[in-house]
Amino acid sequence: MTTTLCLNTYAPNIKNVRVLNRIKDVLDWCGHLLLRKKKPRSIHHSEIRKVFGNASKPLGRWLYSNLLMQTGDYAAGHHSYSYALNEGGYERLRNMVGLSTVTSAEIAMELYGPIIRGELTPVYRDKGGRRYHPIQNIRRDDKKVVFSGWWDYDIDSCAATLVHQYARQHYRWVNPETTEEPFPAVARFVEEKASVRQHLATVAGIPLEKAKELSQSLLFLAPLTPHHRCSIFSLLGDDRIRLQRLKQDTFVKQLIVDLKKMWHYAMGGDQRERGLRQFAGVGVASPPDSKSKYRQAIFIALERKVMDVIHDWFGTEQFPGVLMHDGFISRRDVDTHALESYLLDTTGYEIRLKKELLGLAGAGA
């Protein structure tokens, strides 16, 4: 549920320097929300209060109600409310205080100019097992503008590729006499991505662009249940007939069987590695209790391992770009074959890197 905080009849006195500066400071802070467009961000109430002021005061309440849309729910000690920017209110307030209307790309240039110009390297922090910097929130359309002339690199089918190979390694450790592919439907899912997505789109009766989201939901074993809280059912427009067609499809049925088997061995591999580290006297945190969170944690750990190797390949202090979660953007045109070979030698994973020259007229290479 999304709510916009209630408006009131208060009108700020922008001739007051203190009020004017407060509004401008809040507008500056809201720039990072503009980069996310409608995607909400979880923000702790203490940060909101620090920027906007006390919501019980007229100015603070007015700023809240004009600029923020609150969504999600709050659980003390677990997660905060999420907020998206009220773009209409954002433009009104900029005009009110004499600031010109700006695009999200212009905001990105303003916030991260030194990084975009190559003068600074982003300083990341760990967030949920991933390296994080707000510059990663720049939307793809804006990225083509602000990083025009840079190269964009993605690990093709990152989650499916890494988990499949990781689970296969453990399967063969458990069954050393076996050489055949243990999860054939998953192998097809990875190796024939385009045709599999087209098949899913046809069977489910959804546009091809939604088939990517469907394939990710299937990969992480989202339930095929006719309930409004189930991601796949919602993706199918709460249509029971489409859901039934998907469940009865021969390939989908085999894929789900193989995916469950794959995750069983992936979890087994992770538990074995945890046991080895404990035996070596290394402190190891317990895996998540929830199987869905455990699956996500395994993937993120594999992704981070690969991204660390990519970072080291460039040289930590000389990295010429910005790390994303499952790829990077670089001012240099990188030899993808050399990097793929290094990743195979270092991690044991066979990875395909896709690259694209960024820019409004950029074409794949």
- Region 22-46: mean pLDDT is 81
CA of residue 176 relative to chain centroid, distance: 36
CATH class for domain 1-102?
mainly alpha
66-70, 168-172, 334-338, 350-354: least confidently modelled range: 66-70
Angle, to 10 degrees, between the axis of helix 58-67 and the axis of helix 17-35?
A: 30
* 127-161 tens-digit pLDDT: 889 999 989 988 888 899 999 999 999 999 999 99
Instruction: State the residue for tokens 């003390």.
Output: 76
- In this prediction the pTM is 0.81
pLDDT at 77: 66
* Top-confidence range, 26-30, 119-123, 275-279, 346-350: 346-350
| Spans of all domains in the chain | 1-102, 159-357
* 187-213 tens-digit pLDDT: 999 999 999 999 999 999 999 999 999
pLDDT at 203: 97
By the 8 A CB rule, do 200 and 211 touch? yes
Q: What is the mean pLDDT of the chain?
A: 89
Give the β-pairing of 68-71 and 2-4.
antiparallel
* 1-18 tens-digit pLDDT: 455 545 457 889 989 999
- Region 226-240: mean pLDDT is 93
Task: Spell out where the chain has E strands.
Answer: 2-4, 41-42, 68-71, 82-85, 125-127, 130-132, 151-155, 321-323, 327-330, 353-357
**Res 108 pLDDT > 50:** yes
Encoded tokens for 14: 């922008």
Q: How far apart are CA 352 and CA 310, in angstroms?
A: 13
Q: How far apart are CA 365 and CA 358, in angstroms?
A: 11
